[in-house]
């Protein structure tokens, strides 16, 4: 049976490299994964005071995660850690207390950056937050895409061949990970 995977991108930029990588992972995914990129830019900042009458964007997002069979994070690194928009999405779906919808959703994380380090800091900070929320995170292969601006063909959308192979290996491994649960 097909598994429904929610893809969350930690950049709101229209020409985001991470968004393009997410789209390539969706293109390369095996048929056993039904992957959908879910927007997180319009989620109001988490504030416990709003839980009495939570914003519709929060309740819709919580429902989306609840109905997913897994979550793939694709993110840049901001100041060596998680971009606020992605951390906010993680926080929103972790509350109200005791009602987190993250628990048990097999996850994985890809980080990409024009710098050489490939968002290593963000990658591990995302892991740190969601492992606490009981998301079983795929450990291998890891994916830190450095010099990401050099990994696309002339159309600016399609990755070059060696990166395509790497992404394909990664998304196939993630499909196997999802099916273990």
The tokens for 59 are 């309740």
- The C-alpha R_g of the chain, in whole angstroms, comes to 16
Interatomic CA distance for residues 57 and 144, integer angstroms:
30
User: Considering the rule CB under 6 A, would residue 80 count as an interface residue with ligand FMN?
Assistant: yes
Cα separation of 117 and 48, whole Å? 35
Q: What are phi and psi of 62, to 5 degrees?
A: -60, -40
Toward ligand FMN, which CB reaches closer, 80 or 103? 80
- Is 78 one of the binding residues for ligand FMN (CB under 6 A)? yes
Given candidates 47, 59, 115, 169, which one binds ligand FMN under the rule CB under 6 A?
115
Q: Is residue 76 near ligand FMN by the rule CB under 6 A?
A: yes
Q: Decide whether 80 or 99 has the Cβ nearer to ligand FMN.
A: 80
3 state SS of 84: helix
Segment near ligand FMN (CB under 6 A); pick from 25-33, 41-49, 76-84, 151-159: 76-84
Nearer Cβ to ligand FMN (17/58): 17
Within 104-162, strands assigned E span 107-112, 144-145
CB of 9 to ligand FMN, least distance (A): 7
| C-alpha span between 88 and 163 (Å, rounded) | 30
Q: Does 24 bind ligand FMN (CB under 6 A)?
A: no
Site for ligand FMN, rule CB under 6 A: 11, 13, 16-18, 76-80, 113-115, 117, 119
């Amino acid at each position: 049976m097909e598994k429904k995977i929610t893809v969350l991108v930690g950049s709101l930029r229209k020409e985001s490299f991470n968004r393009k990588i997410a789209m390539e992972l969706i293109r390369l995914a095996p048929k056993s994964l039904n992957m959908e990129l879910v927007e997180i830019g319009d989620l109001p900042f988490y504030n416990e005071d709003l839980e009495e009458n939570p914003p519709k964007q929060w309740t819709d997002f919580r429902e989306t995660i609840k109905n997913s069979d897994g979550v793939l994070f694709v993110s840049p690194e901001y100041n060596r850690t998680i971009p606020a928009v992605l951390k906010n999405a993680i926080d929103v779906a972790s509350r109200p207390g005791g009602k987190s919808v993250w628990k048990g959703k097999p996850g994985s994380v890809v980080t990409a950056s024009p710098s050489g380090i490939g968002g290593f800091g963000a990658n591990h900070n995302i892991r740190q937050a969601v492992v606490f929320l009981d998301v079983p995170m795929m450990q291998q292969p890891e994916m830190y895409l450095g010099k990401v601006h050099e990994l696309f063909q002339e159309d600016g959308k399609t990755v070059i061949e060696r990166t395509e192979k790497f992404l394909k290996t990664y998304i196939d491994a993630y499909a196997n990970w999802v099916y273990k649960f």
